[in-house]
Amino acid sequence: MNEQNLKKKLTMMIVTVVLLAIGLTVTSFALASSIAQVRNNRFTMSMGVELTINDGQPVVDVTDMVYEPGGTYVSEFPIANLGTFDVWYRVYFTDVKGALKDYITVTIKEADGTVLCKGTMSELSSDKVAVSSLAASEKKTLTIEFYFSSEAGNAAQGQSVSFNITANATQKQNNPNKDFGN
């Protein structure tokens, strides 16, 4: 082989090695940047999940309540899935305050009689209620019943209770364990 051919082959080898090194670098960078890290295996996604309770109006009308030990107050309210996905939903109490919270038993149920929760107001937090489902664009009517224990007697006279009723939802698809992310 002559010196000219040897230089050409050597140049081609060097160019090939450089191109391979560049390709390897670009491929490694592309692979590394395409890997997504998901902490705690949880995804937060709100698109398509939208829930409304009683069209944004109060569920309980306190001006309508005449309440005494042994009395029951019943009200109905709608819950609707305005989103595009089927959802799991739950209804529960937050910010329960006042002396009457242990004297009032609450039952929330669906129209078919399925009980979502039952217990004293102080017991019904998000982890102690049943979870039910709503299809996309579905609306259900829920019934809420407040029973004021007759055992309260005169100790409850002049006392009060305040609370918030909370409803939240999570996507049903790929969520068989009904995980709300808390």
Mean pLDDT taken over the chain: 79
Q: What percent of the chain has pLDDT over 90?
A: 9
Q: Does this model's pTM top 0.95?
A: no
Parallel, antiparallel, or unpaired for β 162-171 and 115-120?
unpaired
pLDDT at position 42:
43
Average pLDDT of 169-173?
87
Q: For residue range 11-32, what is the model confidence (pLDDT) as tens digits?
A: 888 888 888 888 888 887 776 6
CA atoms of 14 and 20, how far apart (whole Å) = 10
Of residues 138 and 2, more confidently modeled: 138
